[in-house]
Amino acid sequence: MIIPAIDLIDGSVVRLYQGDYNQKTQYTIDPVEVVHDYADQGAQWLHIVDLTGAKDTQKRQLQLIEKMVNTKRMQFQAGGGIRAESDVAQLLDSGVKRIVIGSLAVQQPDLVKSWVTQYGPDAIVLALDVNIDQQGNKVIATQGWQNSSGVALESLLNDFLSVGAKHVLCTDISRDGTLQGANHQLYAEMKQQFPQVLWQASGGIGSLADIDALKPSKVDGVILGRALLEGKFTLKEAIQCWQGA
């Protein structure tokens, strides 16, 4: 499935280059209009990153997210600075179907595992951003990629599989925002090793050929951000490409 993504800062649609707030591109489009546009082109899900809420949980853009959800045009998964159960509950109450959790899954795995148990595996997406070293070790980064956790992707996954976690959004940091193609080898390897996980590929997709290259990996979802905002191709074209049309 193709999943378009939208990053929000103070009500505006933006893109950060490799997670850096100082390398920000702002787009003059209304987030609610984006929902309608993407739905018209065939999107069934939208991935929302609340970058304001990630910096300050007191400033979470809940009203805007509710407006987007209330269009009832598609399903939504959302994240950005999820640090407490109240953050999870707020977003679920607003109608978001899946909560995307990043750093906390590494820093407080038992807490996040309790949420998987409480709200169900379908309500939680683990957003695991990895740096891959020359030996092929996949080490998870935290805090907007500022820190290395020292935790291997595989060991964290095995821990979370014990409570039935099933959605994982995995980003190869070196590819994010570059439009240089996704790391299809990473997803092929992970899908083979953890076939029960529903994998979402993220980072680096800049052309329809990059989407095509991901098909053999058997990845379940493909997140598209910058390429759509910059008109590299349309969402409709991406969906047709993924479905083999």
H or E element in which residue 16 lies = strand 12-17
- Using CA atoms, how far apart are residues 27 and 109, in angstroms rounded to an integer? 35
- Using CA atoms, how far apart are residues 209 and 197, in angstroms rounded to an integer? 25
C-alpha angle 166-77-112 in degrees, rounded to nearest 5: 50
Candidate list 7, 50, 87, 176, residue with the active-site label: 7
Decide: 41 and 234 in contact? Cβ < 8 Å: yes
Candidate list 50, 87, 110, 129, residue with the active-site label: 129
7 is catalytic: yes
The terminus-to-terminus CA distance of the chain in angstroms comes to 14
User: How many separate helices (H) and strands (E) can be counted in the chain?
Assistant: 11, 12
C-alpha angle 199-108-140 in degrees, rounded to nearest 5: 45
DSSP string, 37-106: HHHHTT-SEEEEEEHHHHH-GGG--HHHHHHHHTT-SSEEEEESS--SHHHHHHHHHTT-SEEEE-HHHH
Give the active site residues.
7, 129
